[in-house]
Structure 1
Amino acid sequence: MLPTPQWPSEDDGRRIYAELMSVSTLCAQNEFAVAYLQPVCDFLAREFSHTPEDVRHTAATEAVLNVIRHPERYDPTRLPIAAYLRMAARRDMLTLLARDGRRRAREIPLATVEEPSTGQNKRVEQADELVWSDPRIVAVVDSFTPSERITFELLRVGERQTHAYARALGWDEERPDLEVAVKRVKDRVKVRLVRAVGGRA
């Protein structure tokens, strides 16, 4: 069962942040880290359940430490500190995934990539000997739009939940065409990879 984040109350959050801003002593920094690191880790565990725990912990730590190092960058009049940390942690998580994807693009064999089904439910599969370091693959990955890059990273780590894609892409999870929209961007990424290695569109 995925953990449920236990966030401090908004009042406690305002108090802890105020102390961090006013004195920023080691005690205040420790209090902030103790209050928020575990909830951020639990939040990422739910949002990126297929991502290794050490990667999630790194992203959570970065989000918390960035506030400790630069508390002035957070504006408490705009949103609660917990919401700010969720946004920052998600951004740091996607940055780590993108960085890891670029590294893997030069060393991991290209697994089977399927092209979306046509009217005849036809699939195109690529040979296992192709590798991410193939210049054609590297070029297409580097040319992805931000939304395609996010989708690619989630596909690569095996994410299957429609709402996980929606959250990562910043889409409204209540939109009626959510499943269709997510499938469309996933299919677009797959088609571009297939075409890059010579598969039929």
Structure 2
Amino acid sequence: MSGTTGRGNLGNIQQGMMVHGSDNQMIGTVEQLHGDGIHVNGQHIPGSAIARVAQNVVYLRGTGAEYMGTASTTGQVRGGAMSTEGEIHVPVAEERLGVAKQQVELGQVEIHKEVIQEQVSVPVELMREEVHVQQRDITDRPVAATDDLFQEGVIRVPVRGEEAVVTKEAVVTGEVVIDKERIVERQEVADTVRKERVEVDERLQGRPRTER
């Protein structure tokens, strides 16, 4: 069977030609011609959907069932797919909120040490000598050669004792223990999500009816 194929088919199509599907089922006739396609039964068929033109018949790439019963639609639903029974499936989508977790630094804890001074008293016992001077009479005796008689002077007697010597020594009296633990708390995370709503306007006997 002779004919033309590809997008160049549009130049060989004339109004009134029969239009068949790939299964040779008749869909209708060409009602109008456009630069990018044809109109059949009120629906627009793009040139890319035309498989070939042979013997005054326009053959489409899809089956006849894909185009029958869709005269009130465009034949293709944006975002949807057409089944072989002529039903139009319109997907309805919505966004779901997902929450992930990641490690972040929330802050830090600083520990400061400062040196303070305070007065401390420590009791201690110290020994010292005390001098007691007393005069007493003795029995007369001859003067000895070592006796210093009739000489003036000062006699010094050393007096000894103990004094407190203060020493300081650093000792560790305690420690600060820093520990971390993980706790789990529940929080509510809120955000805005989108969802699609489908509205179908159907006119019966000139009266509009809206279904959702």
TM-score (norm 2): 0.23
* Structure with more contact order per residue of length (Cα contacts < 8 Å, sep ≥ 6): 1
Whichever of the two has the greater Rg, that structure is: 2
TM-score (norm 1): 0.24
Pick the structure with more helix per residue: 1
